[in-house]
């Protein structure tokens, strides 16, 4: 290499000299952490050597790394996948240390990786004819600039990999803290909602009284009336009641009695759920404090991430936290870097787990029910719905040809009953059929379906079972 092709002030010569003996060596691995900008190529030249370049935004520079980065993207990341496909397993023909980039050229069928170190640098992978295979980042790179190469490539490489792992771990700690805070906020909302449900128990006497007054005085309420003014014999005043104009007033008395019974029967479930939620809040608050006090290191974050998962923190939010990336397994910062710029897609269902770990999917709402049933459920999955009332579609994913275990069926039926207008009833009938027998009629309302070959299970709502199921909710 000519001196005028080396880095400024002859510093590129130190790096060129350090990698000169790598020509002819085989590239063993290719790594990248897109969140920090560290790209690394490992070769075997008598011993394992690692060439690293920081292309930004968080690390910049070049050097010989003492090890591969611990936090990195997995094989599915576009840059890593391209380097593995075109570089790994091939011999190094040349390593060029230029003023604006480092170029690694490999043999048959031939490819060239150009790394431009800098806070706004980039990686370019070219084929043997010079055609562009991949450019990372895809957009927004700065024009080529002269690189300030280090005088000591080994010291610079050690600083690069430590800085990359430290920055990635700090990002993952922040992500873990956000996920735990979000879970705490969700539990607080749940506790408030359950307290609101319990507050409705105070209306049981009023509902029963209204039903009794409608039975006694409904005959004098005009047919088609939307409201009725009933004499309150206890107080001497009146009670105004909203009515369904399509039904006789006296016939609506049972609806008030039924609502009162539903509140009473649901009290044990609600109190058990509130107690479980309050225990979860205590645990998540303790975890939040531990995360705040933890060091930003993968080995410190991984146990905390496991605790978070056990407390219902979304697995999507915790993908790779604290775990070193490897072949085929996204690392912490790499997994997030691969998702940068786009939000995770919203799923139309919440996922719960049976006691055996089987997934049970529950539609979020009417339109989501349609999406769960028609787009996510497979023909051989089991589909459930509370019989004769409005409610969520429930799907149990099953292997092809498998039948649903009895315990999983009862768990799924319990959720179908709970997420329906039969919530609070002691016993509920639930229809279930393979998804292939469920159809969405053209022009029907959101969530409306028809189905054949129906089977029905009468499920008795067990508060302990319901509380266990609700505690497994995955918000992601």
DSSP letters spanning 359-422: EEEEESSHHHHHHIIIIIS-TTSEEEEETTS-B--EEE---TTPPPPHHHHHHHHHHHHHTBTT
Identify which has the larger pLDDT, 266 or 32: 32
Q: Which range has highest mean pLDDT (142-151, 204-213, 311-320, 406-415)?
A: 406-415
pLDDT on residue 5:
40
Distances (CA, A) of 378 to 345, 421, 455: 20, 26, 19
pLDDT at position 159: 95
Q: Which residue has the higher pLDDT, 208 or 382?
A: 382
348, 371 Cβ separation under 8 angstroms:
yes
Q: What is the pLDDT of residue 341?
A: 37
Residues 6+ apart with CB under 8 A from 141: 116, 120, 121, 122, 135
- Does the pLDDT of residue 304 top 70, yes or no? yes
* pLDDT tens digits along 393-432: 999 999 988 999 988 999 999 999 999 988 878 889 999 9
- Between CA 371 and CA 86 the distance in angstroms is 40
Residue 339 has pLDDT above 60, yes or no: no
Measured in degrees and rounded to the nearest 5, phi and psi for residue 96 equal -105, 125
**Interval 61-68 mean pLDDT:** 94
- The answer to whether 18 and 34 have CB atoms below 8 angstroms apart is no
User: In angstroms, rounded to a whole number, what is the distance separating the alpha carbons of residues 459 and 363?
Assistant: 19
Residue 223, SS3?
Answer: coil
Res 224: pLDDT: 85
| Start-end of H helices in 60-219 | 78-86, 153-199, 204-217
Give 231-253 pLDDT, tens digit per residue: 888 888 888 888 888 888 888 88
Amino acid 257: pLDDT: 85
Mean pLDDT, residues 26-50 taken together: 92
Question: What average pLDDT does range 179-197 have in this prediction?
Answer: 86
**pLDDT at position 468:** 86
pLDDT of residue 331: 37
**pLDDT band, residue 202 (cuts 50/70/90):** low
pLDDT band per the 50, 70, 90 thresholds, residue 95: very high
CA 109, 43, 335, 320 dihedral sign is positive
Q: Does residue 472 carry a pLDDT above 60?
A: yes
Task: Report the percentage of the chain scoring pLDDT > 70.
Answer: 88
Over residues 40-55, the mean pLDDT reads 91
pLDDT at 325: 47
Asked whether the predicted pLDDT for residue 334 surpasses 50, the reply is no
Confidence of residue 46 (pLDDT cuts 50, 70, 90): confident
First to last CA, the chain: 54
Rounded to the nearest integer, the mean pLDDT of the chain is 84
pLDDT higher than 50, residue 190: yes
Highest mean pLDDT among 97-106, 206-215, 352-361: 97-106
Reported confidence tier of residue 446, pLDDT bands at 50, 70, 90 = confident
pLDDT, tens only, 2-25: 334 444 434 578 999 999 999 999
32 and 38 in contact (C-beta within 8 Å)?
Answer: yes
């Amino acid at each position: 290499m000519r001196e005028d092709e080396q880095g400024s002030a002859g510093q590129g010569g130190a790096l060129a000299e350090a990698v000169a003996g790598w020509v002819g060596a085989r590239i063993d691995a290719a790594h990248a952490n897109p969140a920090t900008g560290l790209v690394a190529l490992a070769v075997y030249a008598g011993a394992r050597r690692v060439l690293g370049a920081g292309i930004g935004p968080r690390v910049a520079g070049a050097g010989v790394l003492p090890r591969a980065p611990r936090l990195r993207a997995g094989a599915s990341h576009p840059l890593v996948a391209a380097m593995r496909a075109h570089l790994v397993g091939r011999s190094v023909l040349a390593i060029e240390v230029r003023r604006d980039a480092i170029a690694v050229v490999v043999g048959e069928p031939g490819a060239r990786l150009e790394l431009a170190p800098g806070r706004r640098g980039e990686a370019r992978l070219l084929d043997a004819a010079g055609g562009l295979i991949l450019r990372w980042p895809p957009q927004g790179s700065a024009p080529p600039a002269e690189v300030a190469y280090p005088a000591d490539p080994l010291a610079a490489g050690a600083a690069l990999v430590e800085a990359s792992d430290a920055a990635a771990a700090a990002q993952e700690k922040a992500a873990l803290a956000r996920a735990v805070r979000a879970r705490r906020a969700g539990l607080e909302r749940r506790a408030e909602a359950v307290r609101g449900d319990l507050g409705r128990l105070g209306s049981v006497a009023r509902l029963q009284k209204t039903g009794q007054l409608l039975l006694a005085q409904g005959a004098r309420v005009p047919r088609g009336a939307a409201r009725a003014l009933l004499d309150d014999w206890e107080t001497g005043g009146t009670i105004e009641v909203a009515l369904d104009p399509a039904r006789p007033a006296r016939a609506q008395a049972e609806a008030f009695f039924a609502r009162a019974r539903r509140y009473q029967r649901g009290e044990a479930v609600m109190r058990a759920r509130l107690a479980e939620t309050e225990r979860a809040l205590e645990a998540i608050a303790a975890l939040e404090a531990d995360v705040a006090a933890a060091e930003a290191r993968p080995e410190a974050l991984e146990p905390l991430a496991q605790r978070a998962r056990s407390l219902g923190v979304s697995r999507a939010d915790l993908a790779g936290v604290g775990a070193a990336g490897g072949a085929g397994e996204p690392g912490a910062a790499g997994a997030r870097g691969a998702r940068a710029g786009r939000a995770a897609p919203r799923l139309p269902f919440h996922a719960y787990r049976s006691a055996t770990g089987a997934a049970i999917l529950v539609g979020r709402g009417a339109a989501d029910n349609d999406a769960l049933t028609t787009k996510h459920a497979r023909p051989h999955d089991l589909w459930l719905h509370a019989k004769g009332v409005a409610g969520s579609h429930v799907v149990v994913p099953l292997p092809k040809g498998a039948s649903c275990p009895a315990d999983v069926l009862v768990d799924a039926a319990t959720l179908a009953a709970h997420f329906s207008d039969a919530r609070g009833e002691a016993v509920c009938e639930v229809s279930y059929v393979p998804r292939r027998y469920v159809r969405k009629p053209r022009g029907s309302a959101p969530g409306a379906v028809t189905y054949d070959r129906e089977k029905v299970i009468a499920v008795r709502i067990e508060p302990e079972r319901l509380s266990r199921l609700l505690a497994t909710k995955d918000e992601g």
